[in-house]
A and B are shown apart, each in its own frame.
Chain A
Amino acid sequence: MTESLVAGSPNPLSHRLFARPEIGATAAAGVILVFFLAAAPAFRSGGSFFTVLYQSSTIGIVAIGVGLLMIGGEFDLSAGVIVTTAGLANSMFCWWFGIDLWVGALLSLAFCLFIGFVNGYLVMRTGIPSFLITLGTFFVLQGANLGLTKVVTGSVTSPDISRMDGYPLLEGVFASNFDAGGVTVWGTVLWWLGFTALAAWVLQRTRTGNWVFAIGGSADSARAVGVPVVRTKIGLFMTVSFLGWFVGMHTLYRFNTLQAGNGVGNEFLYIIAAVVGGTLLTGGYGNAIGVGIGAFIFGTTSLGIVYAGWDPNWFKAFLGVMLLLAVLVNLYVKSLATSTRLLRDSPGKADDA
C-alpha cells in the first residue's frame, strides 16, 4: 500500500519544534525581557521581577481557563466580571447575614460554578455562538454587580470584610505573601504556576485533555467517535468560572473592599494572553504553558513600560501589536499543520496528495 502512504524517517526536529504552540510566544517573551532589562535599570532586580510575576498571575490564572475553553472552541466574555461577582457575592452575603467568610466563599464558589454551567448549557442547548451567550452573561453580571451592591450596601463599593470572622484564614489562602531572600513573593504566583502545570498535564497527558482538543478541532468528529462533547464543553465553562472565582477571592482578601464596576475589560486581556501564547482562536490548538507565557508577556510589557519611565498610555497600542503578530504566527503555524507542506518539505518521498 505504499503507493498511497509514505514510509520514511520522522519529521526533522526543527519541524516538530516549530509546530509547538508556545514557541512564538517563548521567543517573544525572551526578546521583550531582554529589551526591558536593557532599557529599564529599575527592572533589573528580584523585587521588580516578582512584581511582574504578580501582575502576570492575576491575569494568568483566569487566562488558563479561557485558554482551555478556546482550545475547546468556545469563548467566555463574562470571565472578567465574574471575578468581581465572586468577590462581591462573598463579601455581601457574609455582611448581610453576618456569617463566617468561609461559608460565603463556598457559596460564592457554588454560584460561580453555576454561572459557568449556565453559560455552557445555553451554548450547547441552543447552538448560539458562545460569543453571544457570554456577552449576555457579561452584561447581566455587570448590571447585577452594580444593582445588587447598591441595594445591599447603599453604595457601589462592597463593605470592608477585614474584621469579619474567618478573614485571617482566607487571607492566608488567597492573598498571602512571603519574603524570599529579600523579595516579596505573592501566593498567587505559586497558584498560577501550579494551575498552569496542572492544566498542561490535563491537556497533554489525560483523556480529558484529548477530548478538549477534539471538541475544539472538530466537535462533530469527536461526537461521532463517542466523545461526550456537551459534558466536556460545560466542564470547560465551569473551569473558567472556577478560576475567575479564585482570582475574585484573591482580590477581595487583598483589598477587603471591591468596586462593583471593576473587572470589565479584563476578559479581553485573558483572550489576548491565550492568543499571544499560541492558542488558536478557532479552537483545537494551543497549550497551557503558552497561555502562561502569554500572561507573562502581558505582565512584563505593562510594567516594563513603567519601569522604563515611558508613558504607559502607549501600552495598549503595544499590546495590540503583540496580538496581531501572534495571530499572524498562529495562522502560519495552522497552515503548516493542516497542509501537506510538512510532507513535501521533508526528505521523505512525496505522496499522492
Chain B
Amino acid sequence: MPAKKKTNAPPAGSATLAADPANDFRLGETYAPAPEATDHARVAPAYGLFIAGAFVPPASGKRFATVNPATEETLSEVAKAGPADVDKAVAAARKAFGPWNRLKTTERGKYLFRIARLVQERAREFAVIESMDGGKPIRESRDFDVPQAAAHFFYHAGWADKLEYAFPGRKADPVGVAGQIIPWNFPLLMAAWKIAPALACGNTVVLKPAESTPLTALKLAELIADAGLPPGVVNIVTGAGDTGAALVNHPGIDKIAFTGSTEVGKQIQRAVAATGKRHTLELGGKAAHIIFEDASLDQAVEGIVNGIFFNQGHVCCAGSRLLVQEGVADLVVAKLRRRMETLVLGNPLDKNTDIGAINSRAQLERIEALVQAGVEEGACIHQSGQKLPEKGYWFRPTIFTETAQSHRITREEIFGPVLSVMTFRTPDEAIEKANNTPYGLSGGVWTDKGAKIFGVTGALRAGVLWANTFNKFDPTSPFGGYKESGLGREGGLHGLAAYVNLTHN
C-alpha cells in the first residue's frame, strides 16, 4: 500500500505528495481505476433467433459477430435472420395475437409488471452487458438506460387494463402484429419503448435490434421467456438492414415502428406507402440549445455537457447546436472548454467514466469525416486533451466555434460528441436560427425568466422541449419530432395511440 511509504515531514502546502504519482489524487491525470465487476454477466458464445418463445437457429445458418467497441473483442455470435426467419417470426406473432388480445386485460398487465420487476432484478447484468456491447459508460447504463427501461414496462403495465380511460368514449382495439426496428444508441431502452406499449394494447411484436448491439435485446428475450409470456407475443430477430427490410415489407405486418436514421426512415415510408401499414418513425435531429445571458450559467454549462456528451452524443435529441447570446458567449465557451477537460474518457465499465467508446468503427468514421468537413469549411475546432486508449473506437469531446448556418456541421446530424456553437443577439434571431433546420425533434432554453421560457419554446418547432435542463425522459411524456425528425409519438397517451385502432362506441 502506498500509505506505508514514509515521506519526510513535508511543508504545509505540499504535505500531500503521495507515493504513487500516477494515481495521486491531486497530480494524477485521472482517478485510479474503479471498474464495475463483470463476473455476474452471462453472455452466451452464440445466440439464435427468439421465435415463438424459444431460441432457434437461423434458416441460413449464418451468424455475425457483435464486438465490444472499447476493446474490439468479439462478445458473441448472433444469428443473421433472412426472409424465411422473418416469415417464421411474423407467423408466430400472428398466431399469438388472437389469444393475447383476448386475454383478460388485468392478466396482460400482470405480465408487463413481471417483466418490469425482472428487469429491475437483473439490472446490474443488463447494465454491464449494455456497456460491453455498446460502449456507453456504466454510469449511464446503470443510472439511466436500465431504470428507464423498467419504468417504461411499469408505466405501460398500468395502462393495460385501463385503455377505456386512456381513450374515453372510444373503443381501443390492438393494431395486430407490430414490426419494430430499433437503433444501437439505447438498445435495451428502445426495446422497452417499443415492446411495452405494443403489448399493453394487446398487440404482438417482431423486434429487430441493431446489428452492432443485439445482446441486451437477446437477454431481454431470455427474461421474457422466464416471465412466462405466452410464446410468440414477443419475437426477436437479429440482423442488419436487409433483415429490417424483410420485416418492413412482410405482408403480415400491420404496423411498423422505427427508430433510426432519417435516411432509412424515408426508405421505410416509401416501402409502406399505400400498403395500409400504420407506421411511426422516430428519426434524426439537430437540436438547438439556446442559452440566454440571464441563465444560470454554471448549470447551463452542465446542461450543454449533458446535452451533447451524454452517450458520446449518440442521441437523436442531442443538443448539438448551441446558440449563445452574445454577451455571455465567450464566458460560456470558456467554461465549457474547462468542463470538457474534466470529463473522464475511457473504459466504459469504469464507474468514473463520463465518455465511453464510439459505438462502431463505421460510426467513428462518419464522425471523423464530418469533423474534417467542419475544419475544412473554416469553423474553429476545440478538442479536449484526454488520452485515448490504444484499442477500440474513441473520439474526444469536440466543439466548433465560429460556425455558420451553412456549415455541414451545423446542418447534418453528426451523432457524436461534437457541438457547433453559434451566437445570437435577440430572442427572435435565436428562434429563427433554431428553426432553420430540416429537423425538429428537440430543443432547449436556458433563462432565469419564466416568461421568456414560454415565449421562446412556444415559437420553436420541435417535438420535445426542455427549459433549464436537457435530456430528461419519462415514460409519461410523449417523444417524437416534426419535419424530418419523424412521425408520431412514443410514450405517454400519444404513444399508446400508435398501437390502437380507435372506433366510436
A and B interact: no
